[in-house]
Amino acid sequence: MLKHRGFPGRLPGTDFQFVIRRGNPKGATRLVARERFRDRSPADRRADLGFMAALWDHFGEDPFERGNLDAGRLSWLFGREVIPAEDPFDPESYESLLKIDVARARAAFPEAFEGEE
């Protein structure tokens, strides 16, 4: 499992984690597209924004390996702002490649891209 050095471990001042410390010997947790409903708490929305900003700062438009990125946090963005970068895609592999769908990410999280244009 690739460990993304320099990637923030969590949203500052909260317990919302962005990375895991060690891989599961049984395999990676499956990535699934989770529905984000309008009534999500402000803290959850800040965590999504913070995670997207960290992904953009760390990887930009380049494909990246899933590695030690938290499956739960990724699943809130998966299938919309974060998409598979390979076909076939294995949602249960730490080596799977992902990428940011920049147009959708900018529309959903404009604050994560401030100062980029």
Give this prediction's pTM.
0.90
The pair of three-digit structure tokens given for residue 100, joined into one six-digit string: 């940011």
What is the pLDDT confidence band of residue 115, given thresholds at 50, 70 and 90? low
Number of domains in the chain: 1
Q: Are strands 82-84 and 97-100 parallel, antiparallel or unpaired?
A: antiparallel
Sign of the alpha-carbon torsion through 86, 88, 90, 94: negative
- 76 occurs within a structural domain: yes
Query: Which structural domain range is residue 101 located in?
Result: 42-113
- 89 occurs within a structural domain: yes
Secondary structure, 3-state, 69-87: ECHHHHHCCECCCEEECCC
- 67 occurs within a structural domain: yes
- 48 occurs within a structural domain: yes
For 52-62, how does the pLDDT look when each residue is reduced to its tens digit (9 = 90+)?
A: 999 999 999 99
Count how many Cα atoms sit within 13 Å of the Cα of residue 80 in the half-sphere of its side chain: 17
